[in-house]
């Protein structure tokens, strides 16, 4: 079977990968906006009746969910990274396709840098920066770390995937 008969990455696949990245980043932005609304609404409710224990219990319960969502973003990143690395072992590779991989890496790094810069500008907004803190500690510490380092994380993950794709031993039906 020749090199022309193997499936090649198409524009549809590349756009799907970029869509996945934008979706995950949008999820993080959405979580932060929910936190912003939650902080503003809870302050107003506490002003109405500060002695109501049901309100404070609901506030504490909802506040705990934000920690879970922060870990959820980390879990999604680790899970998708593991899937990518395992899948890259089974992808037939040829050294000619390294150029496509490098071009994809550059495009991914540029998109990740734009998203990381947008996130950095977003969390510095006056209302958002206060909502990101809870008693002096950051609420979304893991998500903020991942988002500010997103270009580096993407480059490292793709670099590891490339090493796995091209460093594996010769297998039946593959080129590499």
Residues in the chain: 176
What is the per-residue pLDDT for 113? 92
Instruction: Give me the pLDDT at residue 119, please.
Output: 87
Name the token pair of 3.
């090199």
pTM: 0.69
pLDDT digits (tens, 9 = 90+) for 129-167: 777 776 666 778 888 888 889 899 988 988 888 888 888
Q: Which residue has the higher pLDDT, 30 or 175?
A: 30
Report whether 101 contacts 162 (CB < 8 A).
yes
Residue pLDDT, tens place only, 47-87: 777 777 777 787 778 777 877 888 888 888 888 888 888 88
Residue 125's nearest CA partner among 29, 11, 25 is 29
Residues 8-56: pLDDT tens digits? 555 556 676 777 778 888 888 888 888 888 888 877 777 777 777 777 7
Mapped to the 3 state alphabet, what secondary structure does 34-85 carry? HHHHHHHHHHHHHHHCCCCHHHHHHHHHHHHHHHHHHHHHHHHHHHHHHHHH
pLDDT value of position 43: 75
Instruction: Give the separation between CA 145 and CA 115, rounded to whole angstroms.
Output: 13
């Amino acid at each position: 079977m020749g090199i022309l008969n193997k499936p090649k990455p198409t524009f549809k696949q590349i756009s799907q990968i970029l869509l996945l990245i934008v979706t995950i980043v949008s999820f993080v932005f959405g979580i932060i906006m929910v936190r912003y609304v939650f902080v503003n609404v809870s302050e107003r409710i506490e002003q109405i009746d500060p002695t109501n224990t049901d309100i404070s219990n609901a506030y504490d319960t909802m506040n705990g969910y934000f920690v879970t969502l922060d870990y959820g973003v980390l879990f999604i990143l680790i899970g998708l990274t593991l899937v990518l690395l395992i899948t890259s072992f089974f992808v037939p590779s040829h050294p000619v396709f390294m150029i496509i991989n490098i071009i994809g890496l550059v495009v991914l790094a540029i998109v990740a840098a734009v998203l990381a810069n947008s996130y950095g500008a977003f969390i510095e907004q006056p209302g958002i920066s206060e909502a990101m803190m809870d008693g002096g500690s950051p609420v979304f510490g893991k998500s903020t770390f991942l988002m500010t380092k997103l270009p580096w994380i993407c480059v490292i993950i793709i670099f590891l995937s490339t090493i796995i794709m091209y460093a594996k031993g010769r297998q039946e039906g593959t080129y590499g």
